[in-house]
Homo-oligomer: A and B are copies of this chain.
Amino acid sequence: MNIGDVATRSGLPAKTIRYYEDIGLVRPQREANGYRRFREADLHKLNFLGRARSLGFSIEDCRSLLALYEDADRASGDVKRVAERHLSAIDRKLAELDAMRGTLAHLAEACSGDQKPDCPILLDLASAPEG
């Protein structure tokens, strides 16, 4: 398979796949003309990467997960640890966004949104930081 084929089959842009090769996540072979040659195993890896990235795992997480994926002897506990670490990162992010949302919604609600220049949003933003 050429890069275009794995691109359509994995759903990843060709650019991204080249980038993944650059940073050592996949190692396709090369044809005589310099074109990358991908095998089924490479496609599996790319699918794996696409799915993991879409779940928000970082590239470095993906590298670990891929190593575990390829290690037939790994303990599933190792994978679970990576997943749970990521899960709590997601929870932190969620809490943070939720707090933002609360403040912002409150401010937007208090704002009349008309032609008058008074605006509680700006008033809040302009208030000094606590501490």
Contacts and interface: CB of A to CB of B under 8 A. Distances in A.
A58 interface: no
B80 A125 contact: no
A93 B97 CA distance: 8
Nearest to A108: B83
Interface residues on A, range: 35 or more
Contacts of A79: 111, 119, 121-122
A111 to B, nearest CB: 5
Interface string A39-65: 000001001101110011000000001
Interface in A85-131: 86-87, 90-91, 93-94, 97-98, 100-101, 103-105, 107-108, 111-119, 121-122, 124-129, 131
A73 to B, nearest CB: 6
Contacts of A115: 75-77
